[in-house]
């Protein structure tokens, strides 16, 4: 089969624009691998859910865990009941988004070349890390221990050779930094390797991170206003049943988010803010009516992240009320006069776009910078930050109580 230009570009970038619908398919592994020179993200480690063994057959009931059994039984017999007023509004939003989501999905299903390519994404049997296993460091716990101020991370950087006059020469420098409550910059020619408690972390070049609790988030505010950020991605630990059940990470009361210093983090020349939300109507109302106005975000628009399996099918029934196979993200501008945008070096957001990808670990979101680059105001390359991050990107600042989580070397292999 002849490979089309879009597929060739997808191979290089991890971004595939589907014809006609304005929908985009992303391959997070390909996108992330553009950030590394000596390492690569292992697909079976990223797409761990697609590599899990198939669900048990009904014959295996004796060995099934009680919680899993209850969940299966709940899903098998959904009790029909009347929706309450909030749920009816959520259902109306879903009905409004439905044709757009279906048409985006249809364009993916029709693209046989992409599907064939996709099926190979989760082929093969490289090591599959037991994510969340006891061997991984639990930064959330370590950060709250009385020992936290004494923990150091040792980072091995490769820096250009100061006196070297031949190309490609470098010096290796090993430096220790306090791991918690300190801003760490990875200023190196390629990825650096960090060591903490006998585990290795792969740190992309020019990345920066601050591992703290929410109480210290104001330490991120830049000293000078022209050092603010042009892209601010926020993925809060919203309170919800699924996170509680899975004990995936601690959550924060929604109202705490009102104090996130988003205005102070925004660049004076403007910022695009991206906020991941859940499908709960009560949260959507809080975000649209209180949170975004408090942060100074103007005219938010919605994008959808539709989750698919490696064969292109949806990860679940589109119409299942409490388990939609999609999540929403709200996008809007800060410090940008969208009426007087003429002559600026960026394109204004077009609403209601659909992003599709195969999901990784629980709550892990696809990387967005490439997809959004044309909509980011301010100087190029843009300054980008992720709040409540669990991974690092080159040129970005990542903040949260576990920004090194997915940088553990178990998610990587040497190139």
Q: Which residues of this protein are in contact with ligand SAM, per CB under 6 A? A: 140, 213-214, 235, 237, 249-250, 252, 363-365, 388-390, 400-402
Q: Are 199 and 216 in contact (CB under 8 A)?
A: no
Provide the minimum distance between the beta carbon of 146 and ligand SAM in the complex, in angstroms, as a whole number. Answer: 17
Taking the least distance from each CB to ligand SAM, the nearer of 22 and 178 is 178
Taking the least distance from each CB to ligand SAM, the nearer of 114 and 148 is 148
Taking the least distance from each CB to ligand SAM, the nearer of 36 and 411 is 411
Provide the minimum distance between the beta carbon of 107 and ligand SAM in the complex, in angstroms, as a whole number. Answer: 25
Provide the minimum distance between the beta carbon of 196 and ligand SAM in the complex, in angstroms, as a whole number. Answer: 17
Taking the least distance from each CB to ligand SAM, the nearer of 105 and 405 is 405
d(CA 14, CA 30): 5
Q: What is the largest CA-CA distance in the chain?
A: 75
Q: Are strands 208-211 and 192-196 parallel, antiparallel or unpaired?
A: unpaired
Residue 145, CA atoms < 13 Å, CB-side half-sphere = 11
Provide the minimum distance between the beta carbon of 364 and ligand SAM in the complex, in angstroms, as a whole number. Answer: 4
Taking the least distance from each CB to ligand SAM, the nearer of 113 and 279 is 279
Bridge partners, 387 (sequence order): 234, 399
Taking the least distance from each CB to ligand SAM, the nearer of 51 and 170 is 51
Provide the minimum distance between the beta carbon of 87 and ligand SAM in the complex, in angstroms, as a whole number. Answer: 23
d(CA 131, CA 114): 29
Provide the minimum distance between the beta carbon of 365 and ligand SAM in the complex, in angstroms, as a whole number. Answer: 4
Provide the minimum distance between the beta carbon of 399 and ligand SAM in the complex, in angstroms, as a whole number. Answer: 8
Q: Are 360 and 47 in contact (CB under 8 A)?
A: yes
Residue whose C-alpha is closest to residue 387's, from 199, 259, 281: 259
Q: Kindly provide the residue ranges of all beta strands, DSSP E only, lying in 231-325, ordered along the sequence.
A: 231-234, 271-277, 298-307
Provide the minimum distance between the beta carbon of 403 and ligand SAM in the complex, in angstroms, as a whole number. Answer: 8
Helix (H, G, I), strand (E, B) or coil at 11: helix
Taking the least distance from each CB to ligand SAM, the nearer of 284 and 390 is 390
Bridge partners, 196 (sequence order): 199
Provide the minimum distance between the beta carbon of 120 and ligand SAM in the complex, in angstroms, as a whole number. Answer: 24
Taking the least distance from each CB to ligand SAM, the nearer of 48 and 401 is 401
d(CA 6, CA 196): 42
Taking the least distance from each CB to ligand SAM, the nearer of 274 and 336 is 274
Helix (H, G, I), strand (E, B) or coil at 210: strand
Provide the minimum distance between the beta carbon of 376 and ligand SAM in the complex, in angstroms, as a whole number. Answer: 18
What are the angstrom distances between the C-alpha of 76 and each of 71, 108, 180, 320, 324?
Answer: 9, 29, 45, 12, 16
Provide the minimum distance between the beta carbon of 69 and ligand SAM in the complex, in angstroms, as a whole number. Answer: 27
Taking the least distance from each CB to ligand SAM, the nearer of 114 and 271 is 271
d(CA 279, CA 90): 8
245: Cβ contacts below 8 Å, ≥ 6 apart: none
- C-alpha dihedral sign at 328, 251, 397, 261: positive
Name the one residue in this structure whose structure tokens are 């709940």.
74
Taking the least distance from each CB to ligand SAM, the nearer of 270 and 360 is 360
What are the angstrom distances between the C-alpha of 112 and each of 109, 280, 287?
Answer: 7, 34, 39
DSSP 96-134: HHHHHHHHHHHHHHH-HHHHHHHHHHT-S------TT-T
């Amino acid at each position: 089969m002849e490979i089309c230009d879009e597929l060739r570009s997808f191979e290089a970038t991890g971004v595939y624009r589907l014809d006609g619908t304005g929908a985009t398919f992303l391959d997070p592994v390909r996108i992330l691998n553009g950030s590394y020179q000596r390492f690569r993200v292992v697909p079976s480690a990223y797409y761990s859910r697609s590599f899990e063994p198939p669900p048990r057959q009904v014959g295996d009931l004796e060995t099934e865990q009680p919680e899993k059994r209850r969940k299966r039984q709940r899903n098998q017999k959904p009790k029909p009941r009347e929706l309450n007023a909030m749920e009816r509004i959520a259902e109306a939003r879903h009905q409004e988004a439905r044709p757009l989501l279906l048409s985006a999905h249809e364009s993916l299903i029709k693209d046989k070349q992409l599907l064939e390519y996709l099926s190979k994404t989760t082929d093969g049997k490289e090591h599959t890390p037991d994510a969340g296993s006891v061997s991984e460091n639990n930064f959330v716990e370590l950060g709250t221990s009385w020992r936290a101020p004494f923990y150091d991370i040792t980072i091995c950087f490769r820096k250009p050779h100061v006196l070297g006059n031949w190309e490609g020469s470098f010096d290796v420098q090993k430096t220790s930094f306090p791991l918690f409550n300190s801003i760490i910059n990875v200023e190196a020619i390629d990825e650096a390797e960090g060591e903490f408690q006998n585990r290795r972390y792969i740190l992309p070049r020019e990345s920066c991170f601050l591992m703290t609790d929410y109480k210290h988030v104001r330490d991120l505010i830049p000293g000078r206003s022209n050092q603010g950020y042009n892209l601010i991605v926020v993925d809060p630990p919203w309170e919800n049943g699924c996170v509680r059940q899975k004990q995936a990470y601690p959550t924060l009361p929604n109202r705490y988010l009102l104090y996130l210093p988003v205005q102070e983090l925004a660049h004076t020349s403007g910022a695009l803010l991206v906020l991941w939300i859940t499908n709960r109507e009560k949260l959507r109302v809080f975000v649209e009516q209180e949170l975004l106005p408090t942060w100074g975000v103007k005219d938010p628009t919605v994008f959808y992240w539709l989750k698919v399996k490696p064969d292109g099918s949806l990860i679940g029934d589109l119409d299942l009320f409490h388990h939609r196979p999609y999540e929403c993200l709200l996008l809007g501008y800060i410090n940008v006069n969208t009426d007087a945008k003429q002559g600026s070096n960026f394109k204004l957001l077009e609403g209601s776009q659909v992003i599709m990808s195969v999901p990784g670990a629980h709550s892990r979101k696809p990387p967005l910078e490439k997809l959004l680059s044309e909509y980011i105001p301010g100087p190029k390359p843009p300054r980008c930050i992720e709040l409540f991050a669990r991974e690092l990107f080159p040129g970005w600042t990542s903040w949260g109580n576990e920004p090194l989580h997915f940088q553990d070397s178990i998610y990587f292999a040497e190139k």
